[in-house]
A and B are shown apart, each in its own frame.
Chain A
């Protein structure tokens, strides 16, 4: 149980993340578009506009799936909360979405760069993934965040040795990070279900 008022105030957002569903959601958000983009790269006839639309559709479907899982599986076991969504958080979400679109637009011409130059941006992306999970671990001290931090680095070693270009490197990094998140989330979700049986709080 939380000890200080600050801990108590922070507790709902920790609770929101502790069942592992958010990790699965974020993992699928990386994994599915990466697979779609990879597939579209092989099937040359896919129109470019279809990919962002597919991404938006996947995001909306996953969001709805997450909401239903929280309502039907998590809430009956350990309680329901609706986090207060501040305007600031909504704006951050919009900004991240626009920024990723802008980054994709800027990076598109470089997707087919030759192998030597193509290695550098992949390395940068891998290090930034690693750094974000490491920062998460420093704050929360949860061991699975360290494992998640290692996934892009291991993938990058393989990518670097295979000499893949920028586009392929990004796709494989997203696949590695997404898969690691899905597996880690699934393991945490399983232990959450075991620790919180359905009838725990009934009379």
Chain B
């Protein structure tokens, strides 16, 4: 259990990182819809992930509408892959 990345292990952040692992980038609205977190919760999880260097957050505009884009960094991608591997290992150990 101690091999698990505590930053990713938190359910809200795990959802964010798993969703971002399958895309090049996604905006705040998409993450809000898919994770079913509140705006405040999502913002704080994104801030934590950005602080750790797992995601990049880019604030931009589409026309006059503000757009918050998020993407996984190579470090975040590696951390997620390691987390998945560790989790699968634990599950396999539990089954045998």
Question: Which residue numbers of A lie inside 8 Å of B, CB to CB?
Answer: 1-2, 5, 8-13, 15, 71, 75-76, 78-85, 201, 203
* Contacts A78-B29, A79-B27 given; does A1 touch B22 at CB 8 Å: no
Among residues of A, the one whose C-beta sits closest to the C-beta of B39 is A203
Give the interface residue-count category, chain B.
20 to 34
B24 proximity list for chain A (CB < 8 A): 82-85
> A82 to B25, Cβ gap below 8 A?
yes
B33 proximity list for chain A (CB < 8 A): 78-79, 201
> A1 to B34, Cβ gap below 8 A?
yes
- B19's contact among A8, A71, A201, by CB below 8 Å, is which? A8
Contact with A along B7-46 (1 / 0, CB 8 A): 0000000110011011111111111111110010000000
Question: Which residue numbers of B lie inside 8 Å of A, CB to CB?
Answer: 14-15, 18-19, 21-36, 39, 62, 65, 67, 69, 84, 87
Classify the interface of chain B: helix, strand, loop or mixed.
helix
B36 proximity list for chain A (CB < 8 A): 1
> A9 to B21, Cβ gap below 8 A?
yes
B10 to chain A, nearest CB (A): 13
Distance between Cα atoms of A82 and B37 in the complex (Å): 21
- B27's contact among A2, A75, A83, A85, by CB below 8 Å, is which? A75
B79 to chain A, nearest CB (A): 13
A2 to chain B, nearest CB (A): 8
> B19 to A76, Cβ gap below 8 A?
no
- A11's contact among B14, B34, B62, by CB below 8 Å, is which? B34
> B22 to A71, Cβ gap below 8 A?
no
Q: A9-B21, A79-B26, A201-B33 provided; 19 other pairs, C-beta below 8 A? A: A1-B36, A5-B84, A9-B18, A9-B19, A13-B22, A79-B28, A79-B34, A80-B27, A80-B30, A80-B67, A81-B23, A81-B25, A81-B27, A84-B22, A84-B23, A84-B24, A201-B29, A201-B32, A203-B39
> A5 to B18, Cβ gap below 8 A?
yes
B36 to chain A, nearest CB (A): 5
Q: Can you list 9 pairs linking A and B with CB atoms under 8 Å apart? A: A8-B14, A71-B62, A75-B62, A78-B30, A79-B27, A79-B28, A80-B26, A80-B69, A85-B24
A82 proximity list for chain B (CB < 8 A): 23-26
